Structure 1
Amino acid sequence: MKTKLTLSVAIVLTGLLAVMLSFINKAEDPVDRIVAALQKWTDANPQEKVYLQTDKPYYLAGDTIWFKAYVTTGEKHQLSAISGALYVDLITEGDSLAKQLKLPITTGMAVGNFILDDDMLHEGNYRIRAYTQWMRNAGPEYFYDRTFSIGNSIANTVFAKIEYVYTKDGNKTKIKAILKYTDLKGRPLADKQVSYLLKKSWDVISSGGGKTDAAGELSINLPNNKPNELIQTYLTTKIAVTGAEVVAKNFPVKTASLQTDVQFFPEGGNLVAGIKSRIAFKATAPNGVGANITGSIVDNTGKEVAKIETRHLGMGYFVLTPEAGKTYSAEVTYPDGTSNTVKLLDIATDGYALSVFQTAKNDSVLVKVGASADALRSGNKNLSLVGQSNGKVYFSASVPVSNAFTLLYFPIKEIPSGIMQFTLFSADGQPLNERITFIQNRDDIKLNISSNKQTYTRREKVQLAVDAEDEAGAPVGGNFSISVVSETAVPSDEVNENSIFSQLLLSSDIKGYIEKPNYYFVNPNQETRENLDILMLTQGYRRFAWKNVLSGNTPAPYFTPEKLGTEIGGVIMGYNKKPVAYAKVAILNNKTGFFRDTVADQNGRFKFRRILFTEGAQFTIHGANARGKGRVIVKLNDYQRANVIANPNIGDINPDIPQQTKATIDNDIKQDQDLVKHGLISRVQQLKEVRIRAAKARVGTANIKENQADEVYRPDSRQPCSTLRECLEEMFHSRIRFTSVVSQDYGMLWIPTYQNQRYVVLIDSMRVTPEQYQDLLTDSVTNINKIYLVHESTAVQMKLLGMYAGQYRPPLPPVLAIYTKNGNFRYSKSDGTIDYSPKGYDLTRVFYSPKYDRPQDGPTPADLRSTVYWNPAVLTRTIGHANVSYFNSDQTGTYRVTIEGIDADGHLGRKTYRYSVQ
């Protein structure tokens, strides 16, 4: 449904004159106070945004994710100098943290990589989340947060997918999950025993099992007794392939709601009697994506006044002139043929409506302020209108309202692309209406990629020329990252991807899931702009609340910017638990010879600022009183990770990963077969499917695969438990139990047991005594990476115990293996001295690009890499030009080149280019 606004030239000129008069500043004009208050808030809260370009859209276990981060700030998206450290999290579909990187930010950019270890990560929907400590003040809704798939390795013998069937049962929706298992050739795995757990983070909601039918399928009726019970849940299943082999598979329960949810959004926020307004709607299916609906709007007499029809991704709008004294409802028909009635908002009789229209030339906007009859009868009102983007005010005007409609014209040609928020304020400065619109100017970097040939042969050298210009054709010096991927191995859809435009200009500014964000930028035209405006009508800009801004009381941000280098601090206390004033503190690293000392303040607090070190560095910190003597306690400030929130991108969860990654898996099979042919090690030996079976013991290794543990615990920041003991016993629902004993030397100790047997406790593969692990049990879990509990397999227990196994008589005791984040646990008894391994900067690998410019003797194995080339540092400099060269792999077909980046003025650029290899 399309609606056009027709305005005569005379009305436009009248509106323009009104705007010109309204820009006359008066000291008592409330618009000045509003602008000043926003400027004060922006100065105190400069926002940062993060975008990560990755080398490809999805991966296999065993791959490496290569990425470059762009950290921007301000209304022009310039590279940020606020923060010096970027945190990048790899999150599982159970919403637990699998890995975290800390990367140095230099000139607003950072580079890094995740190695997708097959013994830790398996097939599933994972997330990459990136943020700075400063960004935590805005909240996790504004972090970079992307969902992507990791497929099975080529050693996989079981492929599985999940489908959902939704049926109505009165007012409830019944949900049935259908699991389908096949082998590598697509043959169903029939008559196989399957057990499952339905989990929500760490909590088990239900369990069960059954056998697959002749089609390899198993149906599970999911419980639906409580509101939102199934949202953010997942199924963990185990299928018995043979008597000795059980394969684990995880499935997301892709449910954002229990039925199609329809919401209505009057433009500007209000429905006002007598004012013709656009009312947008958004229909979201239970799987989290837009649903196509139809229907009609009826008044309280049953008269149809408007039609409803989805226009784009479950969104659309209709036009309505509401009448005073009437109520309106939407009669909605869903895709499955069912229907429902949804009541619209109440009608205001005294109020204003705010509408925004972009002109056909896309060089200006028209803002229409409508006043109800009651509002006009109360006399002329001096309202205020403010238009801001990223905290900078571009338009501010007094709006004298004396007619039913007041029109204002604003040119937008010089405004940076992004979200513009228009807010209408009352005479006393209170927000009345709000509307966001998207400014899409031609201010991006015009990138051009050319190659010395359009068609190449395998392993032939490729020479690419990159040229960067602005709209006027002048050269642009920018910093770019470039990836080259074989589309034969990794087919992709650019519309479904994230991009530097969709993230920094759109997703980072508004809350809520955006389906196919790059659709609006890949090929911008009149249709995509119109659909983008509908998105603006259904999404809200909530970087700040006007109430907080206008109060003038801007609280200091809780998180301070973290500069390059790490701050280590804490407090020195006496054994009486009181701070030791002016205590002496020293920090050292014996391995590097690093040493610093300082004096605490009168409250015993101390800080060592800007210490630059890499991950795994171990420090010893020693404290003493002001005379350099005495027994003291060193208590350090804990590094607190940002909490992992539930996946906000339900619509991006892929329930059929094998189908998406099929081409990539087939490519890996070819690579593996070629390695076997040349007598080299097979990747099958490195990329093992998650198999739960007994492993042959190798005494002395003290190391096992994760799938060999009977229970695996990973800390979850959302668990309402304060100590590791509480997390393990109460939240994790483990079979571990803790008993208390009293030691003459150490007092009460907590001892972990399994069926009345004491666990042997290992910390980072070192056996420890009860008094040595008490601090870990009674402290928070901030320093815990993972815990393995082994009690069913003697072979696995022996392997985990390693060199300690020979000290025990059969049967071996259960083993509790704790792995800390630094991986180097040391227990110290010395008063005033502690060992500390803070989170350091992670080292980044360099992408290996083979050279085939020299002939090689004899046959060589095939080069079937899916990522052919990755370079995070392509500089066009002042001449606006850069050259890149590399060698093709043995893949044939189409290669896709993707380049993204930014210049010093915050202009963004993205370009894709393709060539073929025969």
Structure 2
Amino acid sequence: MPTPYPVPHRFRWYALAGLGLLGLGTAALRPAAGGPDEVVRRLVQGVQLYYAAARPEKAYLHLDQDGYAAGETVWYGAYLVDGEQHRPDSLSQVLHVELVSAQRRVVLRQALHLAGGRAPGALALPDTLAPGTYQLRAYTDWMRNAGPDYFYQRRLHVWPAASPAAEGPGAPDARADERATAAAARTEARRLGAPPDVQFFPEGGSLVAGLESTIAFKAVDYAGRGLEVTGQVLDAQDQPVATFRSAHLGMGTFQLTPQPGQRYRAVVAPPEGKPLVVPLPAARASGYALRVTPEPNAYRVSIRQRGAPGGQVLLLGQVRGAIGYLGQGTVAGQDEFMVRIPRAKFAAGIVHFTVFDGAGVPQAERLAFAPEAAPLRVALAPDRPAYGPREAVRLRVAVTDAAGQPVGATHLSVAVADAAGAPTAAETIATSLLLTSDLVGYVEDPGYYFENPTAATAGALDALLLTQGWRRFAWQDVLAGQAPPRPFGAAQSLGLRGQVLTPGGKPVPNARLVLLRGQPRRLVLPATTDDQGRFLFNGLGGCADTARFTLQARTARGGANVVLRLDAGPPVAAGALPPLPRLPTPAEAGALRGAQAQVAADRRFRRDTAKTILLGNVSVRGRKAVVMDSRRIYNPLNATVLRLDDPAFMAVSNLTLFQVLQGRIPGVNVTGAEPNMVVQIRGPSSIQGSNRPLFVLDGLPVDQDVLSFFPARDVETIEVLKGAEAAIYGTRGAGGVIAVYTRRGAPSYQPSMELAPGILAVYSNGYACPRQFYQPRYDRPQPAAAPADPRRRTLYWNPDVRTNAAGEAELTFYTADAAGRFQLVAQGVSVGGQPVLGRGALQVAPRP
């Protein structure tokens, strides 16, 4: 039991188990009287019932690198845990991963099938992806109930595929790079000309006249990056009453005792530009003040009031719905009530302190942080301190608890990547689960608060929590017994979601729908809309399966005059993303050069899970050099190519792919009309007697149905292979091959196209297929002419490492030709919900 400070008023601490409140009921408690015990029951049960209904989820992506060049692959391990205890394997089994541009457009999208809350992922960045800062986000359908603020989100730097000095086929246009860089610099200059955003936050929520308060402040630029500022606070008579200076990333605190009837303003001096004047929040004539002072092993909490009736107050402290402290006391007159609460009462994470008056009405609140009391330890031990090129590395991974006991059955992902330019304040699974996932908005350099725990970092973390509010729920909803809205269910499979509306935009309840898919597996699914006209089809799509469906909707009476609106996904946050930063250090510049060299190597080497294929350089005399595209397995010079980015085809935006193809390539016959077009390539038939071609979309064989109604505006080229040129596809290509390549960085399909009133052609992507990271073996002598090992950035990536009963795992991989220092990083989560993080290093010597 916590011991109150020696003040004349008694503070009562409730043993929650003694009140019988640890079990969850099915309805909110309705006390017959308004006594303190009934208020306590209502508060505790309200929190428990709310979390039981909300069942929040959290996602995290462990990336092999922190920045990439266009053309590289983002290798990642996806984690999904429950939002209360952080245990893996939550409600949902489908995780959506998206890359969002600075223009707030989703440029890449994947869906992962989770098993035990885990899934490996690989996001191939197009080599034509515009350089800049992107937002990488991950979410489940269930997380959409809480809103995009609680999605997993991080900023991702994407650098140009090659430096302007690069030479050879496929090198970017140096002048185009210069123009893009200059345009970004001009945009940055205009944005930097805008005044910073400076806000002030009284501790506890409000200023009360006559009560000294801690006021926190935060100064950021247009993209949410901290700005170091200084300033002073003036009263209405222009007399200075306080001064302040930011301590870290534009944040800091100062003390102020507001006087009755006074108004205050701050004069803030930013790093550049003119000072700006910001009014402070007005002081209330009456109310409560809450002060929380973190100590090494406890929180010292102070409650005061002025002008309020006074009397009994309740102090509640909870972490993600788990109540660690609930006490009752009396605050009256000029008295200050203080209590010291041990940190051990709270789970690791953000502690939410709230003061309620005797009627159970919230009066003040404050966030604090509880670190892990006994964090897990991860040892990464290579068998040698240094290695030469192409030598075997045996890496021992050991997970133990704080007492040194092994922790088995822990899932980890392990990356061995170039240490040059690695950020020192990067996010980790610990910073995500314990801090940023419970805060709204962008948190800059979250690793700073965890990497080196000192008094300075603890103070900076406290300032962050004073300025960046926590809003998992609103107390008025909890106290009223109101369950959180849940329009989205926990998806167990891929689905198709939407709404049936009248032409005037009103929902059509009880509308009848039929979802139809033809070959290869005929599928007919019926459904009926709910009272809001919403519908959901589940169980669609497989691995890398792009399927075409026909969706028909009719009113309950059979009317066809309806509008089908498919779910467009969650909105993209309106916040600005900054341009790429300048490279301030030689190490970071070296990392970029390594990334660009990796992309150049990938252009020469096509890697899959089994072998390396060397592609020769392709050029044609008198024609522009042909850029090799990893989506092709053939030489494009052997194909008849129809380019849809030529000026002659700029007016085809309303045509489908087959309509554009009709009559434009000799030997290709396109007859009939949508949706029953027949495409044939003249020539000898296959051994089955068919002269129907093989259709390929971005390197993946698909059925013709997938390309029906495919919009021409999303297509870069249509390439036709005949006879011997098509033999690379085996017997499947005996009737010829029609290969379609979408514009890089654009969606690979049109989500839907209206065929008739109430009928849509729908294109749906399946799950992203697991990809194997390229890991060659050098346990046998290599020929003298063996190709170079292209691994320069990420030497090893394994998203599925599991410790045995002894808490250990052993990994084996080979170094490449690149020399230097490599950083070892292991991240994961234990079965008990504790974040797991370990680091190490290994050195690779250059070839003698």
| TM-score when normalising by structure 2 | 0.76
CA distance in 2, matches of 1:59, 1:399: 56
C-alpha distance in 2 between matches for 1:788 and 1:683: 27
What CA distance in whole angstroms lies between the structure 2 residues aligned with 1:326 and 1:568? 55
Q: Say whether residues 1:34 and 2:40 are aligned partners.
A: no
Q: Which residue of 2 aligns with 1:351?
A: 287
Q: CA deviation at 1:460?
A: 0.9
The Cα shift of 1:633 comes to 9.9
Does residue 700 (structure 1) correspond to residue 629 (structure 2)? The answer is no
C-alpha distance in 1 between matches for 2:753 and 2:231 = 69
CA contact (8 A) 2:656 2:712 kept: no
1:396 is the counterpart of 2:326: yes
The CA deviation at 1:565 is 4.8
What is the aligned counterpart of 2:13 among 13, 20, 29? Answer: 20
How far did residue 857 of structure 1 move?
A: 1.7
Alignment of 1:609-620 (within 5 A): 609-611=538-540, 613-618=542-547
Alignment of 1:327-476 (within 5 A): 327-336=263-272, 338-359=274-295, 361=296, 363-372=297-306, 374-375=307-308, 378=309, 380-402=310-332, 403-476=334-407
Structure 1 residues 93, 569: CA separation in 2 closer, same or farther (over 3 Å shift)?
Answer: closer
Equivalent residue, structure 1, for 2:255: 319
Distance 1:256 1:346 in 2: 30
Residue 111 (structure 1) shift: 1.5
Provide the C-alpha distance between the structure 1 equivalents of 2:565 and 2:602, rounded to a whole number of angstroms.
Answer: 53
Superimposed CA distance per residue, residues 760-806 of structure 1 (whole angstroms, 9 cap, x where no aligned partner): 65369655999859xxxxxxxxx99986399xxxxx9xx76979xxx
Aligned residues, how many? 740
- Quote the residue 2:764 is aligned against: 838
Describe how 1:662-701 pairs up with structure 2 within 5 A: 662-665=590-593, 668-669=596-597, 681=616, 700-701=640-641
Q: Which shifted more, 254-263 or 308-317? A: 254-263
Alpha carbons of structure 1 residues 287 and 145: separation in structure 2 relative to 1, 3 Å: closer
Residues 552 and 304 of structure 1: CA distance in aligned 2, closer, same or farther (over 3 Å)? same
Cα pair distance change 1:94/1:447, threshold 3 Å: same
In the TM superposition, what is the alpha-carbon distance from 1:703 to its structure 2 partner? 4.6
* Corresponding residue number in structure 2 for 1:110: 119
TM-score by length of 1: 0.70
Distance 1:96 1:770, change over 3 A: farther
Q: Is the 8 A contact 1:585 1:622 kept in 2?
A: yes
Q: Which residue identity lines up with residue 283 of structure 2 in the other structure?
A: I
2:780 to 849, 854, 878: 854
Summarize the Cα distance change of 1:632–1:115 in structure 2 as closer, same or farther, 3 Å threshold: same
Look up the SS of the partner of 2:398 in the other structure: strand
CA, structure 1 residues 765+123, in 2 after alignment: closer, same or farther (shift >3 Å)? farther
Kindly indicate whether the alpha-carbon contact (under 8 Å) linking 1:419 and 1:505 is maintained by their aligned counterparts in 2: yes
Q: In structure 2, do the counterparts of structure 1 residues 294 and 831 end up closer, same or farther at CA, with 3 Å as the change threshold?
A: closer
Question: Post-superposition shift, 1:351?
Answer: 1.1
Is the partner of 2:111 in helix, strand or coil?
strand
Question: What SS does structure 2 have at the residue aligned with 1:882?
Answer: strand
Query: 1:893 matched to which residue of 2?
Result: 820
Deviation at 1:616, TM superposition (A): 3.1
Q: Once the two structures are superposed, what CA deviation does each residue of 1:711-746 show, in whole Å capped at 9, x if it has no partner?
A: 99xxxxxxxxxxxxxxxxxxxxxx96xxxxxxxxxx
| Partner of residue 136, structure 1 | 144
List aligned pairs for 1:213-252, cutoff 5 A.
none
Counterpart AA for 1:67:
Y
The answer (yes or no) to whether the contact 1:299–1:328 under 8 Å persists in 2 is yes
User: Which residue of structure 2 lines up, in the alignment, with residue 206 of structure 1?
Assistant: none
Instruction: Give the whole-Å Cα distance in 1 for the aligned partners of 2:172 and 2:770.
Output: 35
Which of 627, 636, 640 matches 2:568? 640
The question of whether the paired residues in 1 share the 8 Å contact of 2:90 and 2:117 is answered with yes
Equivalent residue, structure 2, for 1:917:
844
Q: Give 2:202's aligned residue.
A: 266
Structure 1 residues 540-551: aligned runs within 5 Å = 540-551=469-480
C-alpha distance in 1, partners of 2:510/2:222? 60
Secondary structure of 1:502's counterpart equals helix
Deviation at 1:508, TM superposition (A): 1.3
Distance 2:753 2:203 in 1: 63
Q: What CA deviation, in whole Å up to 9, does each residue of 1:639-684 have, x standing for no partner?
A: 432222334654x853669985554325754995999999963699
Q: How far apart, in 1, do the equivalents of 2:110 and 2:709 lie?
A: 15
State the match for 1:49 in structure 2. Answer: 58
Give, in whole Å, the separation in 2 of the partners of 1:103 and 1:674: 25
In structure 2, the residue matched to 1:732 is: none
Per-residue deviation at 1:542?
1.2
Partner-residue secondary structure (3-state), 2:779: coil
Deviations 1:166-186 (A, max 9, x none): xxxxxxxxxxxxxxxxx999x
Compared CA separation, residues 786 and 665, structure 1 to 2 (3 A): farther
1:14/1:88 CA distance change after superposition, 3 Å? same
Equivalent in the alignment of 1:557: 486
Change (3 A) 1:323 1:462: same
The residue that corresponds to 1:241 in the other structure is none
Task: Extract unaligned runs of 5+ from structure 1.
Answer: 1-8, 160-182, 197-216, 221-233, 237-250, 690-695, 713-734, 737-751, 754-758, 774-782, 791-795, 804-815
Shift of 1:11: 6.5
The answer as to 2:448 corresponding to 1:512 is no
Whichever residue aligns with residue 343 of structure 2, its letter is I
Distance of 2:387 and 2:640 partners within structure 1: 52
The verdict on how the C-alpha distance between 1:47 and 1:661 changes in structure 2, with shifts beyond 3 A counting, is farther
- 8 Å contact kept, 2:411–2:828: yes
25-34 vs 817-826, which moves further: 817-826
Match of 1:693 in 2: none
SS in 2 for 1:43: helix
Q: Equivalent residue of 2:344, what SS?
A: coil
Residues 569 and 89 of structure 1: is their aligned pair in 2 closer, same or farther, counting only changes over 3 Å?
Answer: closer
Q: Which runs of 5+ in 2 are unaligned?
A: 20-34, 606-612, 620-624, 630-635, 663-669, 676-707, 722-740
Q: Residues 847-903 of structure 1, C-alpha deviation per residue, up to 9 Å, x if partnerless?
A: 110111110122323324111100001111332111111001111121111110001
Q: Deviations over 1:620-645 (max 9, x none)?
A: 6698999xxx9989987724322223
Matched, 1:276 2:276: no
Cα separation, 2, equivalents of 1:313 and 1:788:
44
Tell me the SS of whatever aligns to 1:493. Answer: coil
Deviation sequence 1:363-403 (CA, Å, 0-9, x none): 2212110112x23xx4x422222222222322222232135
Note if contact 1:354-1:433 (Cα within 8 Å) is conserved in structure 2: yes
1:267-295 Cα deviation digits (max 9, x unpaired): 11111122222111112245642222222
Question: How many Å apart are 1:845 and its aligned residue?
Answer: 0.8
Task: Tell me the distance in 1 between the aligned counterparts of 2:286 and 2:232.
Answer: 27
The alpha carbon displacement at 1:908 in A equals 0.4
Pair 1:762 & 2:661 matched: no
Q: CA deviation at 1:818?
A: 10
Match of residue 484, structure 1, among 413, 416, 419: 416
% same residue: 29
Structure 1 413/254 Cα, relative in aligned 2: closer, same or farther at 3 Å?
farther
Equivalent in 75, 84, 108 of residue 93 of structure 2: 84
The answer for the alignment partner of 1:98 in structure 2 is 107
CA distance 1:103–1:545, change in 2 (3 Å): same
Decide whether the 8 Å contact of 1:31 with 1:386 is kept in 2.
Answer: no
1:519-539: CA deviation from partner (whole Å, max 9, x where unpaired) = 111222332112101111111
Contact conserved, 1:252 with 1:655, CA < 8 A, in 2?
Answer: no
Q: Which piece of structure 1 moves more, 833-842 or 452-461?
A: 833-842
Counterparts in 2 of 1:909 and 1:464: CA distance versus 1, 3 Å = same
Shift of the 877–253 alpha-carbon distance from structure 1 to 2, 3 Å rule, reads farther
Amino acid at match of 2:713: Y
Of the three residues 465, 476, 488, the one matched with 1:536 is 465
Verify the 8 A CA contact 1:147 1:653 in the aligned structure 2. no
